[in-house]
C-alpha cells in the first residue's frame, strides 16, 4: 500500500486539472470493478454489483488537490497568482510548484525582511523568466505543489495532497477487499471538491445511491497548543458527526459505530467546526440522500506536508469494507 500511496500523493491534479491522477485511478479500478465510467465533469465512477435486494451504496473520495493559478505576469516575468482551494499563504514562501505543462517555479515574497504574516498580494511565483515574453507560463495556467512523500517511521508518513489522495487509496483498497457484497457499491473518485464540492452532487444525482459515505481527512488536536479537538493520529479512523458544512445522518453514524464495535476496530468520533466534505453535496442531492463520512486523521492539512498514520488507514479500510459488505439498515 505504501507504493500506491506514494504514486497517488505525488501525482499532479489541482481542481479541474485532475487528468493525470484520473488516468492512474482508472487503470487501477478497471480490473476490479464490473463497470467503470467517467462523467461529463470528470468524476470516475466504478460499480460493483451486490446481491439482490441490497442497497445502492456510494463511497466517494475526491482526487483533486489545492493549487494556484496565474492571474498576472509583471514586466520582469514574475507571476502573481490566485489560490485554488484553501491555500494558506503562511505555508507558501520558498515552496516549489509545477505547472500543467511541466514548468517549475518557486514562491517568493515581496519583502522577505517583513515580520508580519504574508498575504496573497505579497507573493509571486518565480519561473526564471526576465519578461512576459520569455515567461514559459501564461495567464490562467495552473500549478500544484511539489513535495516528495517521506516515511518518518513504521506508521507515520507525510506528503502533499494526503487530502484526499489517502481517501482514494482507502476506496481502492476497499474495492480490492470486497467479496460478494450484500449491496451494490458505487465507488466515486470526484473532481473539484476543494473549490466547493462541485463533483459530488452531479455524481450522486446520476447514480441514485440510497446511502453515501464520503472518505476524507480531518484535523487533529494532538499537536502542542493545537486546536482543541478530540482527534489523534493512530487512534483509529473517525466517524463524522458534524463539520462546518453538514450534520451526518445519525442513523449512518450509529451504523458505522456499531460495525466498528462488532469488529473490535478502533475509531474516534469527529466533530469538526470548520471545513466539509463531498457528503455535504450528496446529502442535499435529489430528494436528499442519507450521507456520512469516514475520516482519516491528518496533521497540517492544506500544507505541502500533510501527515497521516498508516494504522488509521488500515483500520478505515477494514471498517468501510465491513459496512458495505453487509446488509445496511438505517434505524
Answer for the pair 142, 99: CB distance below 8 angstroms, yes or no: yes
**Which CA distances in Å does 16 have to 28, 50, 89, 97?**
21, 32, 21, 17
Residue 100 — very low, low, confident or very high, per pLDDT cuts 50/70/90?
very high
Residue 4 — very low, low, confident or very high, per pLDDT cuts 50/70/90?
very high
Average pLDDT over every residue of 183-192: 97
Residues of the chain above pLDDT 70, percent: 100
pLDDT for residue 323 = 96
Biggest distance spanned by C-alpha atoms of the chain? 67
Residue 114 — very low, low, confident or very high, per pLDDT cuts 50/70/90?
confident
Residue 168: closest CA among 251, 46, 37, 40? 46
pLDDT for residue 199 = 96
Residues of the chain above pLDDT 90, percent: 89
Answer for the pair 292, 260: CB distance below 8 angstroms, yes or no: no
Q: Which CATH architecture best describes the domain 67-145?
A: Beta Barrel (2.40)
Residue 193 is among the residues annotated as catalytic for this protein: yes
pLDDT tens-place string over residues 135-148: 999 999 999 999 99
pTM reported for the whole predicted model: 0.95
Alpha-carbon distance of 32 to 167, in angstroms, equals 17
Grid coordinates of 92: 507558501
Question: Computed over its alpha carbons, how large is the radius of gyration of the chain?
Answer: 20
Domain ranges of the chain: 2-65+160-325, 67-145
Residue 51 — very low, low, confident or very high, per pLDDT cuts 50/70/90?
confident
Alpha-carbon distance of 273 to 69, in angstroms, equals 28
Q: Out of 193, 194, 270, 306, which one is annotated catalytic?
A: 193
Average pLDDT over every residue of 159-178: 97
Sign of CA dihedral 294, 83, 111, 136: positive
Alpha-carbon distance of 171 to 298, in angstroms, equals 17
Average pLDDT over every residue of 77-95: 93
Who wins on pLDDT, 179 or 168? 168
Q: Which CATH architecture best describes the domain 2-65+160-325?
A: 3-Layer(aba) Sandwich (3.40)
Residue 245: closest CA among 209, 207, 222, 214? 214
Amino acid at each position: 500500500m505504501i507504493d500506491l500511496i506514494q504514486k497517488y500523493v505525488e501525482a499532479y491534479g489541482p481542481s479541474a486539472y485532475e487528468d493525470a491522477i484520473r488516468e492512474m485511478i482508472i487503470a487501477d479500478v478497471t480490473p476490479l470493478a464490473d463497470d467503470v465510467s467517467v462523467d461529463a465533469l470528470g468524476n470516475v465512477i466504478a460499480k460493483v454489483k451486490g446481491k439482490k435486494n441490497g442497497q445502492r451504496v456510494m463511497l466517494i473520495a475526491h482526487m483533486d488537490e489545492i493549487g494556484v493559478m496565474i492571474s498576472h505576469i509583471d514586466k520582469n516575468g514574475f507571476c502573481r497568482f490566485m489560490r485554488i482551494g484553501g491555500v494558506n499563504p503562511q505555508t507558501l514562501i520558498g515552496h516549489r510548484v509545477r505547472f500543467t505543462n511541466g514548468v517549475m517555479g518557486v514562491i517568493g515574497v515581496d519583502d522577505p525582511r517583513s515580520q508580519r504574516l504574508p498575504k496573497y498580494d505579497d507573493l509571486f511565483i518565480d519561473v526564471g523568466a526576465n519578461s512576459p515574453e520569455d515567461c514559459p507560463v501564461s495567464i490562467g495556467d495552473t500549478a500544484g505543489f511539489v513535495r516528495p512523500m517521506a516515511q518518518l517511521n513504521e506508521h507515520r508518513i507525510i506528503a502533499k495532497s494526503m487530502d484526499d489522495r489517502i481517501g482514494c487509496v482507502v476506496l481502492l483498497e476497499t474495492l480490492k477487499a470486497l467479496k460478494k457484497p450484500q449491496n451494490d457499491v458505487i465507488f466515486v473518485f470526484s473532481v473539484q471538491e476543494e473549490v466547493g464540492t462541485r463533483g459530488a452532487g452531479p455524481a450522486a444525482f446520476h447514480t441514485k445511491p440510497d446511502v453515501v459515505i464520503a472518505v476524507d481527512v480531518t484535523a487533529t488536536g494532538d499537536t502542542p497548543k493545537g486546536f482543541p479537538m478530540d482527534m489523534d493520529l493512530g487512534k483509529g479512523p473517525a466517524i463524522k458527526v458534524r463539520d462546518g458544512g453538514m450534520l451526518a445522518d445519525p442513523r449512518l453514524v450509529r451504523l458505522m459505530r456499531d460495525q466498528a464495535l462488532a469488529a473490535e476496530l478502533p475509531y474516534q468520533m469527529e466533530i469538526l467546526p470548520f471545513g466539509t466534505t463531498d457528503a455535504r453535496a450528496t446529502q442535499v442531492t435529489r430528494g436528499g440522500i442519507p450521507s456520512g463520512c469516514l475520516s482519516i486523521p491528518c496533521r497540517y492539512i492544506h500544507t505541502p506536508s500533510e501527515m497521516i498514520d498508516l494504522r488509521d488507514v488500515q483500520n478505515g479500510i477494514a471498517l468501510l469494507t465491513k459496512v458495505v459488505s453487509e446488509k445496511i439498515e438505517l434505524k
